[in-house]
Structure 1
Amino acid sequence: MTTVSIIEDDPHFRAGLEVLIRNSKEFAVISSFSSAEDALPQIIKQVPDIAIVDIKLPGKSGVELIKELKHALPDLLCMVCSYYDSDDYVFNAIKNGASGYLLKDAQPQEIIDSLEELKRGGAPMNRYIAKKIISTFHEKIIVHHLAELTSRENEVLSLVAEGLLIKEISDQLSLSHYTVKSHLKNIYTKLHVRNKVEAINKLNDTRR
């Protein structure tokens, strides 16, 4: 049976998690704590398979606890269960070793399903959190692609985004039509797009 420790300062939510997990067939709660300070030494003594950690705890935060637990117990699986869904909380938790992130409005079966997914080596996440991570990852890829453009290519792309035609760009930058078209071709290749509209959309994605 897969063992679980719970670190949650809300006594009602903690009790609810304990009942939910104890009523499951595959998981057993072996310890439960209201603070990181209480949890850390005890979890190191009696190591569970999974730790469910709240982000906002009295004293040390859940992120700090996850970081220390993963340092001491690299194989421990940590899953956040929190009300907080801001980028800072989500990405700091994952960066410091959380393998999953759920919000506290998750349905009971979703929590059990997430524990099962975690046990199988997955990374369970609330759908909203998953979209947030994918969106941020996508934006970083776009920024990386834009950074590959030369200064002249960036100039051309900015003018295209302003609605200028090739002839107008040629006149403004004192370039031949052929050179502007060549820059556009390079821009499309580097941004992995097929036309001006897609290139402009990628540029606008980084400005939102």
Structure 2
Amino acid sequence: MKFLPISFLVLALATATAFAYDPSPLQDICVATNDLSSGVFVNGKFCKDPNQASADDFLFTGFRNPGNTSNPLGSKVTTAFVDQFPGLNTLGISMARLDFAPGGLNPPHTHPRGTEVLVVVEGTLLVGFVTSDQLNNTLFTKVLYKGDVFVFPIGLIHFQLNIGNTYALAFAGLSSQNPGLITIANAVFGAKPPISADVLTKAFQVDRSC
């Protein structure tokens, strides 16, 4: 874990030099609050009275411990988005910790409101993203090793797979306080109510019995 300070430095430099996707703030701080009686509604969240803010509003401790990878995917993503980290409100950035068991997968997904930059801290990851129809759904993929950084453009489907025989750890910075998450398989096959089987079989060119 001695490489954590290096990874945070890389992410800090990346986000500091990037243009935020979210609207720029018009005040120093706008800590998100669920107390609707004492807040002002700004871009999806109510803001705490700045005079009542404290240093704790700008601290997130959720990355201290490894995520539980004992699940079918063998991975755990711990997010520090505005819902978990109120101090991010209006600042246009967020982060995530990604833990992988050997063979663990963060399945194909998109962030509709944020570009993601990923740095590998431990292990070996196969990563990639797919362009839109405009660029013929081209797959860009690389194997990343400790210290490597890869960027996933906003809105494009991407994934990470631990291809090593050991635990893997990565951290991601995102260019939105609330980048959103659409896991492709969940969205297509887990919609409520479900998408018509006629639509899915024709779209994927498979038989109903598959």
TM-score bucket of the superposed structures, by smaller chain: 0.3 to 0.5
Name which one, 1 or 2, has greater alpha-carbon Rg. Answer: 1
- Which structure features the higher share of helix residues? 1
Greater RCO, 1 or 2 (C-alpha within 8 Å, sep 6+): 2
- Provide the TM-score with structure 2 as the length reference: 0.32
